[in-house]
Structure 1
């Protein structure tokens, strides 16, 4: 279904996108970052926090490291400032890349089993599918941030995968 190279490419894309989103967010003040913009998670910073939360949940399932430490209901407020979010985002992106670098094809084969707090039960899905889901979740919510940044008057970053510098 997917290969370790795909995962490494998506991990690099994730880092590139988050660097650009961070730069765009730095152009806004706290009020603009935290203003409710009628998005699913409310504000730009809340949505960025939720992406980070999701990454933490998936990575603890994939690499056994620490999770986000808060339930999904608190994901939007995990890091109340851009500085706190940015520092943790940087660490998480490194963690994702490090995990991706160590993947072998066999690691993506077969089922993956975990307890879903959201569903309140054990879940088993193909490992390749849940890895793709993690990257899809990031992209989905970054699209929401892109729209909110545009609405806030900030030039939103380039998000096309084929324009990623490593691809040129």
Structure 2
């Protein structure tokens, strides 16, 4: 079951992994980060952008924060510049950490209703389930980034969730 401790752990994992992968990507040129590597969002940069776009989209649904200025089809080009992206990613990770500390069990048991552009209809799911998706989405795409970075010769850190509090 998704409880506040799970949300807080996953928020720490998210921030830890983003720091690790961004540090590994810092060692690449902008051209290498934006090179089409055959992934769904094409490049390392594009996949990073999509994760951030997804986080901001879900946060807008969950807590009413501002949603991204671009739609899902443009999520891979959300931020053009690497420094601009990294600054926003770090800011969002701090926001998610602070927000996760305030999540309550009662709130998690509630239902989120939103319009899904992907499904083309209104949807409703328990908030706890939505947050499991929120964190799973990040982890899935970070796995793609990890593979692309490794193939590019970068050396990202370990990704094991069990190490989140050991290595951060």
TM-score range, shorter chain: over 0.9
Alignment of 1:42-121 (within 5 A): 42-121=42-121
SS in 2 for 1:86: helix
Q: Distance in 2 between matches of 1:121 and 1:164?
A: 37
Runs of at least 5 residues in structure 2 that lack an aligned partner in the other structure: none
Contact 1:63 1:99 in 2 (8 A): no
Let me know the Cα RMSD of the aligned residues: 1.3
User: What is the deviation of 1:109?
Assistant: 0.1
Q: How many residues align?
A: 168
Q: Distance in 2 between matches of 1:44 and 1:152?
A: 10
For 1:130, the equivalent position in structure 2 comes to: 130
TM-score, normalised on structure 1?
Answer: 0.96
User: What is the deviation of 1:166?
Assistant: 4.6
User: What is the deviation of 1:167?
Assistant: 7.6
SS in 2 for 1:88: helix
Runs of 4+ with deviation above 4 angstroms: none
SS in 1 for 2:97: helix
SS in 2 for 1:98: helix
TM-score, normalised on structure 2?
Answer: 0.96
Moved more, 155-164 or 8-17: 155-164
User: What is the deviation of 1:65?
Assistant: 0.8
User: What is the deviation of 1:120?
Assistant: 2.1
Q: Distance in 2 between matches of 1:81 and 1:37?
A: 19
